[in-house]
């Protein structure tokens, strides 16, 4: 896994262009590396949120094996990243279905969310982690794609293969459910 500096910009800032995808589909190793380096950090973070830190690395690698073997199937109708997120989300959901139980997910806290008191911060992280663990995987996917990956409703709809209006209603449901889970004493 290639470690990258986290970006505070929109995740679409380094969008993969069609010539790069075509070159990668033709077996150009530099193009494959460029795609991996530009997107692996975001796919890994998505996997951490969806399946937990313990399985995220392996599943991220599986996503790239699958994506690179299916590059010729990328039609170019949507952005490459949207197609890749769809593969990643499907891989995560399949993993969760196979596991049939939820594991503790590692929540990476953004600096803006960090409390000044480490004990308070640890408590917040544990509460949010526990709430995310309890969310239905489909709701967790939508919440993660919007809040962590910064995708638009249109991009999430394309990624998950659902109508845009459904994205909005499920995102609202995920937020309400998270609020309820966080506000309910444990």
pLDDT tens over the chain, length 186 residues: 444 333 334 444 468 888 999 999 998 999 999 999 999 999 999 999 888 888 899 999 999 999 999 998 888 888 899 899 999 999 998 888 777 544 434 444 444 444 456 777 777 777 877 888 888 888 888 988 888 788 889 889 888 889 989 999 999 999 899 888 888 765
- Check if the beta carbon of residue 142 is closer than 8 Å to that of residue 160: yes
Residue tagged 């997120």 (tokens): 85
Question: What is the spatial distance between Cα 151 and Cα 141, in angstroms, rounded to a whole number?
Answer: 12
Closest C-alpha to 41, from 78, 9, 17, 79: 9
Enumerate the domain spans of the chain.
14-183
pLDDT digits (tens, 9 = 90+) for 43-55: 999 999 888 888 8
The span from the CA of 44 to the CA of 58, in Å, is: 9
Beta strands in 41-170 (DSSP E): none
Query: What is the C-alpha to C-alpha distance for residues 94 and 102, in angstroms, rounded to an integer?
Result: 13
CATH fold of 14-183 reads Rna Polymerase Sigma Factor; Chain: A (1.10.1740)
CA distance 132 to 144: 10
The upper half-sphere exposure of residue 34, i.e. CA atoms within 13 Å in the direction of its Cβ, equals 18
CA R_g for the chain:
17
Sign of CA dihedral 18, 33, 82, 3: negative
What span, in angstroms and rounded, lies between the C-alpha atoms of 142 and 135?
Answer: 11
From 87, 105, 70, 82, select the one nearest 157 (Cα to Cα): 82
- Residues 131-149: tens digit of each pLDDT: 888 888 888 889 888 887 8
Distance CA 68, CA 74 (A): 10
Burial class for 160, CB neighbours closer than 10 Å (0-12, 13-18, 19+): buried
């Amino acid at each position: 896994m290639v470690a990258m500096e986290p970006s505070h910009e929109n995740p679409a800032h380094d969008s993969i262009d069609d010539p790069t995808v075509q070159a990668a589909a033709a077996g150009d190793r530099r193009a494959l590396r460029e795609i991996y380096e530009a997107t692996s950090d975001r796919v890994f973070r998505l996997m951490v949120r969806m399946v937990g830190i313990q399985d995220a690395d392996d599943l991220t690698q599986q996503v790239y094996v699958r994506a690179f073997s299916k590059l010729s199937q990328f039609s170019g109708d949507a952005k490459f990243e949207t197609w890749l997120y769809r593969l990643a989300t499907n891989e995560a959901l399949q993993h969760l279905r196979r596991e049939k139980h939820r594991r503790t997910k590692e929540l990476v806290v953004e600096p803006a969310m960090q409390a000044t008191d480490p004990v308070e911060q640890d408590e917040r992280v544990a509460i949010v982690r526990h709430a995310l663990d309890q969310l239905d995987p489909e709701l967790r996917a939508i919440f993660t794609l919007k809040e962590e990956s910064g995708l638009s409703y249109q991009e999430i709809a394309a990624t998950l293969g659902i109508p845009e209006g459904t994205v909005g209603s499920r995102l609202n449901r995920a937020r309400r459910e998270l609020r309820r889970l966080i506000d309910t004493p444990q």
